[in-house]
Amino acid sequence: MNKPIQKWTTKIIFTLLLILGSATVNATYYPRAGWLYYNGQFYLASYMLWDSPGPWTSTEPGYEHDLHVHDPNFFTSQCTTFSNLPDSYDDCPTAGIFDPNGPVFSFGSFDAELITANNWYFGAWQFTSHGSAASSPFTLIGQENESRCPFGLESIWCMFSNNSQPLLFGLYMNWGGYPTWVPY
Amino acid sequence: MWVEGLSGTHRTHEDLGSEKFIQEARIQTIIFLKNGLIAHRTHIKKMLDKHSKNELVENKQLLSQARSLLNLTQQFSNALQAASSDQPLIYGLELMGESHILEQVRTASKVSSSKTVGEITANNQEDNYESLKPAFYKSEFKDQSIQSASPEKIYELLHTANLTSRKGDS
Protein backbone atom coordinates (compact mmCIF):
# COMPACT_ATOMS: atom_id res chain seq x y z
CA MET A 1 0.00 0.00 0.00
CA ASN A 2 2.80 2.38 0.80
CA LYS A 3 4.81 1.64 -2.29
CA PRO A 4 3.24 4.25 -4.65
CA ILE A 5 3.68 6.90 -1.99
CA GLN A 6 7.32 5.90 -1.52
CA LYS A 7 7.88 6.07 -5.27
CA TRP A 8 6.37 9.54 -5.49
CA THR A 9 8.33 10.68 -2.46
CA THR A 10 11.54 9.38 -4.02
CA LYS A 11 10.72 11.12 -7.29
CA ILE A 12 9.95 14.43 -5.58
CA ILE A 13 13.13 14.31 -3.49
CA PHE A 14 15.19 13.36 -6.53
CA THR A 15 13.68 16.19 -8.58
CA LEU A 16 14.29 18.67 -5.77
CA LEU A 17 17.90 17.53 -5.51
CA LEU A 18 18.33 17.94 -9.27
CA ILE A 19 16.86 21.45 -9.20
CA LEU A 20 18.99 22.46 -6.22
CA GLY A 21 22.04 20.87 -7.79
CA SER A 22 21.66 22.55 -11.16
CA ALA A 23 20.96 25.92 -9.55
CA THR A 24 24.11 25.89 -7.46
CA VAL A 25 26.70 24.29 -9.77
CA ASN A 26 29.45 26.90 -9.71
CA ALA A 27 27.08 29.76 -10.54
CA THR A 28 29.06 32.93 -9.78
CA TYR A 29 28.88 36.58 -10.81
CA TYR A 30 32.70 36.64 -10.75
CA PRO A 31 34.95 34.44 -12.91
CA ARG A 32 35.42 30.97 -11.44
CA ALA A 33 39.00 30.78 -12.75
CA GLY A 34 41.56 32.91 -14.50
CA TRP A 35 45.02 34.39 -14.61
CA LEU A 36 46.78 37.65 -14.04
CA TYR A 37 49.87 38.27 -16.16
CA TYR A 38 52.31 41.07 -15.38
CA ASN A 39 55.26 41.74 -17.68
CA GLY A 40 57.20 43.53 -14.94
CA GLN A 41 56.76 46.93 -16.53
CA PHE A 42 53.73 48.76 -17.90
CA TYR A 43 51.50 45.91 -19.08
CA LEU A 44 49.12 43.55 -17.29
CA ALA A 45 46.57 41.14 -18.72
CA SER A 46 43.89 39.01 -17.13
CA TYR A 47 41.93 36.02 -18.37
CA MET A 48 38.48 35.23 -17.00
CA LEU A 49 36.42 32.03 -17.16
CA TRP A 50 32.89 31.48 -15.88
CA ASP A 51 31.31 28.03 -15.32
CA SER A 52 27.85 29.49 -14.97
CA PRO A 53 27.64 33.31 -15.00
CA GLY A 54 25.28 34.74 -12.39
CA PRO A 55 23.02 34.75 -10.52
CA TRP A 56 22.69 38.48 -11.10
CA THR A 57 21.05 40.61 -8.45
CA SER A 58 20.25 43.46 -10.84
CA THR A 59 17.83 43.37 -13.79
CA GLU A 60 20.53 45.02 -15.94
CA PRO A 61 23.77 43.71 -14.47
CA GLY A 62 27.27 44.74 -15.44
CA TYR A 63 30.59 43.13 -14.56
CA GLU A 64 33.81 44.91 -13.60
CA HIS A 65 37.37 43.56 -13.24
CA ASP A 66 39.19 45.73 -10.71
CA LEU A 67 42.95 45.91 -10.21
CA HIS A 68 43.57 47.66 -6.91
CA VAL A 69 47.23 48.77 -6.72
CA HIS A 70 47.60 49.76 -3.08
CA ASP A 71 50.63 52.05 -3.42
CA PRO A 72 49.75 55.16 -5.48
CA ASN A 73 53.48 55.63 -6.21
CA PHE A 74 53.73 52.42 -8.24
CA PHE A 75 51.81 53.38 -11.40
CA THR A 76 51.64 57.15 -11.63
CA SER A 77 49.80 57.46 -14.93
CA GLN A 78 46.22 56.66 -15.76
CA CYS A 79 45.74 53.41 -17.61
CA THR A 80 44.21 52.46 -20.92
CA THR A 81 42.53 49.09 -21.39
CA PHE A 82 41.52 46.62 -24.10
CA SER A 83 39.06 43.77 -23.67
CA ASN A 84 36.87 41.29 -25.50
CA LEU A 85 34.21 41.26 -22.78
CA PRO A 86 30.80 41.80 -24.39
CA ASP A 87 29.77 45.46 -24.56
CA SER A 88 32.99 46.30 -22.76
CA TYR A 89 34.04 49.55 -21.19
CA ASP A 90 37.24 51.17 -20.03
CA ASP A 91 37.03 52.45 -16.48
CA CYS A 92 40.49 54.00 -16.18
CA PRO A 93 39.27 57.61 -15.82
CA THR A 94 37.66 56.77 -12.47
CA ALA A 95 40.93 55.41 -10.99
CA GLY A 96 42.04 57.36 -7.95
CA ILE A 97 38.69 59.10 -7.54
CA PHE A 98 36.87 57.94 -4.41
CA ASP A 99 39.72 55.41 -3.97
CA PRO A 100 41.11 56.36 -0.55
CA ASN A 101 43.22 53.18 -0.27
CA GLY A 102 45.06 53.50 -3.59
CA PRO A 103 43.89 53.62 -7.20
CA VAL A 104 41.63 50.93 -8.68
CA PHE A 105 42.20 50.40 -12.40
CA SER A 106 39.32 48.66 -14.15
CA PHE A 107 37.61 47.47 -17.29
CA GLY A 108 34.21 45.84 -17.50
CA SER A 109 31.06 44.94 -19.38
CA PHE A 110 27.91 47.06 -19.46
CA ASP A 111 25.92 43.89 -20.15
CA ALA A 112 27.00 40.96 -17.98
CA GLU A 113 24.11 38.82 -19.23
CA LEU A 114 26.01 38.45 -22.53
CA ILE A 115 28.88 36.65 -20.74
CA THR A 116 28.80 32.95 -21.62
CA ALA A 117 30.10 29.88 -19.81
CA ASN A 118 33.33 28.06 -20.75
CA ASN A 119 34.52 30.95 -22.86
CA TRP A 120 37.85 32.56 -22.02
CA TYR A 121 37.56 36.34 -21.79
CA PHE A 122 40.48 38.71 -21.86
CA GLY A 123 41.28 42.19 -20.71
CA ALA A 124 44.51 44.15 -20.35
CA TRP A 125 45.83 47.32 -18.77
CA GLN A 126 48.60 49.53 -20.06
CA PHE A 127 50.37 52.31 -18.15
CA THR A 128 52.83 54.96 -19.26
CA SER A 129 54.67 55.98 -16.12
CA HIS A 130 56.06 54.40 -12.98
CA GLY A 131 56.72 56.19 -9.71
CA SER A 132 59.13 55.70 -6.82
CA ALA A 133 57.64 52.48 -5.39
CA ALA A 134 59.70 49.39 -6.25
CA SER A 135 56.81 47.14 -5.30
CA SER A 136 53.19 47.37 -4.27
CA PRO A 137 50.61 45.07 -2.75
CA PHE A 138 47.68 44.52 -5.09
CA THR A 139 44.24 42.96 -5.10
CA LEU A 140 42.28 41.68 -8.08
CA ILE A 141 38.53 41.91 -7.59
CA GLY A 142 35.50 40.65 -9.51
CA GLN A 143 32.48 42.89 -9.17
CA GLU A 144 28.84 42.75 -10.19
CA ASN A 145 27.58 46.27 -10.76
CA GLU A 146 24.64 48.13 -12.25
CA SER A 147 24.01 51.38 -14.03
CA ARG A 148 22.20 54.12 -12.15
CA CYS A 149 22.16 56.50 -15.11
CA PRO A 150 19.00 57.65 -16.90
CA PHE A 151 17.90 55.04 -19.42
CA GLY A 152 19.94 55.07 -22.61
CA LEU A 153 23.07 56.62 -21.20
CA GLU A 154 25.91 54.17 -20.68
CA SER A 155 28.61 55.83 -18.66
CA ILE A 156 31.38 54.51 -16.47
CA TRP A 157 30.50 57.20 -13.93
CA CYS A 158 27.09 55.57 -13.40
CA MET A 159 28.32 52.04 -12.62
CA PHE A 160 27.93 51.17 -8.95
CA SER A 161 28.92 47.97 -7.18
CA ASN A 162 26.33 45.45 -6.01
CA ASN A 163 28.69 42.61 -5.02
CA SER A 164 32.41 42.13 -5.08
CA GLN A 165 34.72 39.19 -4.62
CA PRO A 166 38.53 39.27 -4.14
CA LEU A 167 40.12 37.00 -6.74
CA LEU A 168 43.79 37.58 -5.84
CA PHE A 169 45.02 39.19 -2.64
CA GLY A 170 48.04 39.27 -0.31
CA LEU A 171 50.41 39.49 -3.28
CA TYR A 172 52.95 42.07 -4.45
CA MET A 173 53.86 43.33 -7.89
CA ASN A 174 57.50 44.22 -8.42
CA TRP A 175 58.81 46.80 -10.83
CA GLY A 176 61.41 45.40 -13.27
CA GLY A 177 60.74 41.83 -12.25
CA TYR A 178 60.32 38.79 -14.49
CA PRO A 179 57.08 38.33 -16.45
CA THR A 180 54.77 36.55 -14.03
CA TRP A 181 51.56 34.51 -14.29
CA VAL A 182 49.38 34.09 -11.23
CA PRO A 183 46.32 31.81 -11.38
CA TYR A 184 43.18 32.32 -9.33
CA MET B 1 38.21 52.16 -30.41
CA TRP B 2 36.82 48.92 -31.73
CA VAL B 3 38.52 46.35 -33.92
CA GLU B 4 37.53 42.72 -34.56
CA GLY B 5 35.43 42.52 -31.39
CA LEU B 6 38.15 43.98 -29.17
CA SER B 7 37.39 47.38 -27.73
CA GLY B 8 39.66 49.79 -25.97
CA THR B 9 40.67 53.35 -25.41
CA HIS B 10 43.48 55.77 -25.92
CA ARG B 11 43.63 58.85 -23.80
CA THR B 12 45.76 61.92 -23.43
CA HIS B 13 45.83 64.90 -21.13
CA GLU B 14 48.64 66.56 -23.05
CA ASP B 15 48.17 69.34 -25.56
CA LEU B 16 48.59 67.30 -28.75
CA GLY B 17 47.44 68.07 -32.26
CA SER B 18 44.67 65.79 -33.53
CA GLU B 19 46.93 64.11 -36.11
CA LYS B 20 49.56 63.30 -33.52
CA PHE B 21 46.89 62.06 -31.13
CA ILE B 22 45.34 59.72 -33.70
CA GLN B 23 48.77 58.45 -34.77
CA GLU B 24 49.65 57.76 -31.14
CA ALA B 25 46.36 55.89 -30.63
CA ARG B 26 47.27 53.50 -33.44
CA ILE B 27 50.84 52.98 -32.21
CA GLN B 28 49.65 52.23 -28.68
CA THR B 29 47.00 49.84 -29.97
CA ILE B 30 49.63 47.87 -31.88
CA ILE B 31 51.82 47.67 -28.75
CA PHE B 32 48.78 46.56 -26.77
CA LEU B 33 47.93 43.78 -29.22
CA LYS B 34 51.53 42.55 -29.47
CA ASN B 35 51.74 42.33 -25.67
CA GLY B 36 48.37 40.58 -25.73
CA LEU B 37 49.70 37.92 -28.08
CA ILE B 38 52.69 37.26 -25.80
CA ALA B 39 50.37 36.72 -22.82
CA HIS B 40 48.01 34.67 -24.96
CA ARG B 41 50.61 32.22 -26.25
CA THR B 42 51.65 31.54 -22.64
CA HIS B 43 48.04 30.76 -21.82
CA ILE B 44 47.80 28.25 -24.67
CA LYS B 45 51.04 26.57 -23.57
CA LYS B 46 49.76 26.28 -20.01
CA MET B 47 46.55 24.67 -21.20
CA LEU B 48 48.48 22.12 -23.29
CA ASP B 49 50.85 21.43 -20.38
CA LYS B 50 47.95 20.86 -17.99
CA HIS B 51 45.69 18.66 -20.12
CA SER B 52 46.34 15.57 -22.25
CA LYS B 53 45.03 15.24 -25.78
CA ASN B 54 42.33 12.81 -24.59
CA GLU B 55 41.11 15.24 -21.93
CA LEU B 56 40.93 18.12 -24.39
CA VAL B 57 39.18 16.12 -27.08
CA GLU B 58 36.67 14.32 -24.85
CA ASN B 59 35.75 16.92 -22.24
CA LYS B 60 33.10 19.26 -23.69
CA GLN B 61 33.90 22.10 -21.31
CA LEU B 62 37.64 21.97 -22.04
CA LEU B 63 36.90 21.76 -25.74
CA SER B 64 34.73 24.87 -25.51
CA GLN B 65 37.53 26.66 -23.67
CA ALA B 66 40.06 25.55 -26.30
CA ARG B 67 37.81 26.90 -29.06
CA SER B 68 37.54 30.24 -27.29
CA LEU B 69 41.35 30.47 -26.95
CA LEU B 70 41.82 29.77 -30.66
CA ASN B 71 39.08 32.25 -31.45
CA LEU B 72 40.92 34.86 -29.40
CA THR B 73 44.20 34.05 -31.18
CA GLN B 74 42.46 34.82 -34.48
CA GLN B 75 40.89 37.92 -32.99
CA PHE B 76 44.31 39.27 -31.89
CA SER B 77 45.87 38.40 -35.21
CA ASN B 78 43.10 40.08 -37.27
CA ALA B 79 43.10 43.12 -35.00
CA LEU B 80 46.87 43.48 -35.27
CA GLN B 81 46.65 43.27 -39.05
CA ALA B 82 43.88 45.89 -39.12
CA ALA B 83 45.75 48.24 -36.79
CA SER B 84 48.98 47.85 -38.79
CA SER B 85 47.35 48.51 -42.14
CA ASP B 86 45.57 51.80 -41.45
CA GLN B 87 42.09 50.26 -41.28
CA PRO B 88 39.62 52.30 -39.18
CA LEU B 89 39.95 51.87 -35.41
CA ILE B 90 38.36 54.92 -33.86
CA TYR B 91 34.59 55.23 -33.82
CA GLY B 92 34.13 57.95 -31.25
CA LEU B 93 35.82 60.62 -29.22
CA GLU B 94 34.97 61.68 -25.72
CA LEU B 95 35.96 65.20 -24.81
CA MET B 96 36.05 66.89 -21.46
CA GLY B 97 36.80 70.56 -21.10
CA GLU B 98 35.47 74.02 -20.52
CA SER B 99 32.22 74.72 -22.31
CA HIS B 100 33.55 77.39 -24.71
CA ILE B 101 36.31 75.02 -25.92
CA LEU B 102 33.84 72.17 -26.37
CA GLU B 103 31.59 74.51 -28.34
CA GLN B 104 34.50 75.32 -30.67
CA VAL B 105 35.02 71.61 -31.31
CA ARG B 106 31.31 71.01 -31.74
CA THR B 107 31.02 73.64 -34.46
CA ALA B 108 34.29 72.81 -36.28
CA SER B 109 33.80 72.05 -39.98
CA LYS B 110 35.24 68.53 -39.73
CA VAL B 111 32.84 67.46 -36.98
CA SER B 112 29.80 65.85 -38.59
CA SER B 113 27.72 65.38 -35.45
CA SER B 114 27.93 65.64 -31.69
CA LYS B 115 25.69 65.27 -28.68
CA THR B 116 25.90 66.47 -25.13
CA VAL B 117 25.02 64.17 -22.26
CA GLY B 118 21.80 66.15 -21.79
CA GLU B 119 20.77 65.60 -25.42
CA ILE B 120 21.46 61.86 -25.17
CA THR B 121 19.29 61.37 -22.12
CA ALA B 122 16.47 63.83 -22.90
CA ASN B 123 14.53 61.74 -25.42
CA ASN B 124 15.52 58.22 -24.52
CA GLN B 125 12.66 55.98 -23.54
CA GLU B 126 12.42 52.19 -23.42
CA ASP B 127 11.08 52.11 -26.99
CA ASN B 128 13.28 54.89 -28.32
CA TYR B 129 16.77 53.81 -27.41
CA GLU B 130 19.59 55.75 -28.97
CA SER B 131 23.15 54.57 -28.53
CA LEU B 132 26.30 56.39 -29.55
CA LYS B 133 28.00 53.07 -30.23
CA PRO B 134 28.13 51.67 -33.74
CA ALA B 135 25.68 48.86 -34.47
CA PHE B 136 28.42 46.26 -34.64
CA TYR B 137 29.80 47.09 -31.18
CA LYS B 138 28.03 44.29 -29.33
CA SER B 139 28.60 41.65 -31.98
CA GLU B 140 30.85 38.89 -30.77
CA PHE B 141 33.83 37.81 -32.84
CA LYS B 142 33.38 34.18 -33.95
CA ASP B 143 35.70 32.49 -36.41
CA GLN B 144 33.41 29.98 -38.12
CA SER B 145 36.22 27.60 -39.10
CA ILE B 146 37.14 27.27 -35.41
CA GLN B 147 33.52 26.90 -34.28
CA SER B 148 32.88 24.05 -36.71
CA ALA B 149 36.25 22.25 -36.41
CA SER B 150 36.27 18.68 -35.03
CA PRO B 151 37.73 18.07 -31.53
CA GLU B 152 40.85 16.48 -33.06
CA LYS B 153 41.30 19.48 -35.34
CA ILE B 154 40.95 21.83 -32.35
CA TYR B 155 43.74 19.99 -30.54
CA GLU B 156 45.88 20.14 -33.67
CA LEU B 157 45.25 23.89 -34.06
CA LEU B 158 46.04 24.50 -30.40
CA HIS B 159 49.28 22.58 -30.74
CA THR B 160 50.18 24.45 -33.93
CA ALA B 161 49.41 27.82 -32.27
CA ASN B 162 51.74 26.89 -29.42
CA LEU B 163 54.54 25.74 -31.76
CA THR B 164 54.14 28.79 -34.01
CA SER B 165 54.32 31.17 -31.08
CA ARG B 166 57.43 29.48 -29.68
CA LYS B 167 59.04 29.72 -33.10
CA GLY B 168 58.16 33.42 -33.08
CA ASP B 169 59.92 33.81 -29.74
CA SER B 170 63.29 32.68 -31.06
pLDDT of residue B170: 38
The neighbour count for residue A22, using CB atoms within 10 Å, is 10
In A98-157, the residues whose Cβ lies within 8 Å of chain B are: 111, 114, 117-120, 122, 124, 126, 149-155
Find the length of chain A: 184
Interface check for B120 against chain A (CB to CB < 8 A): the answer is yes
Q: Band the pLDDT of A119: cuts 50, 70, 90.
A: very high
Interface check for B129 against chain A (CB to CB < 8 A): the answer is yes
Ramachandran category for residue A170: left, alpha or beta (phi over 0 → left; psi -120 to 50 → alpha): left
CA-nearest of A109, A22, A112, A117 to A58 is A112
pLDDT of residue B132: 65
Query: What is the average pLDDT across A12-27?
Result: 56
pLDDT of residue B83: 92
Q: How far apart are the first and last CA of chain B?
A: 32
Q: How far apart are CA A80 and CA B90, in angstroms?
A: 14
Residue B49's domain comprises 2-169
CA-nearest of A68, A155, A77, A153 to A106 is A68
| pLDDT tens for chain B, residues 1 to 170 | 888 889 888 887 777 777 888 888 899 899 989 999 888 988 999 999 999 999 999 999 999 999 999 999 999 999 999 999 988 888 778 777 888 888 888 888 777 778 777 776 666 555 555 566 777 777 788 999 999 999 999 999 998 887 765 554 43
Report chain A's mean pLDDT, rounded to a whole number.
87
User: Which amino acid makes up residue B170?
Assistant: S
The neighbour count for residue B19, using CB atoms within 10 Å, is 8
Secondary structure (3-state) at A4: helix
pLDDT of residue A151: 72
DSSP A43-100: EEEEEEE-SEE---SSSSEEEEEEEEES-TTTB-S-EEEEE-STTEEE-GGGTTSS-T
DSSP B33-83: HHHHHHHHHHHHHHHHHHS-HHHHHH-HHHHHHHHHHHHHHHHHHHHHHHH
Q: How far apart are CA B158 and CA B70, in angstroms?
A: 7
DSSP A120-165: -EEEEEEES-B-S-SEEEEEEEEEEEEE-SPTT---GGGEEEEEEE
pLDDT of residue A94: 85
ipTM above 0.90, yes or no: no
Q: B74 CB contacts (<8 Å, ≥6 apart)? A: B141, B143, B146
CB contact under 8 A, A119 and B68: yes
Q: Higher-confidence residue: A129 or A23?
A: A129
Query: What is the average pLDDT across A121-129?
Result: 93
- Which residue in chain A has the smallest CA separation from B120? A153
Total count of domains within chain B: 1
% residues pLDDT > 90 (chain A): 66
CA-nearest of A129, A125, A156 to A72 is A129
Each domain of chain A, given as residue ranges in start order, spans 3-183
List chain B residues with CB under 8 Å of A153: 117, 120-121, 124
Interface check for B141 against chain A (CB to CB < 8 A): the answer is yes
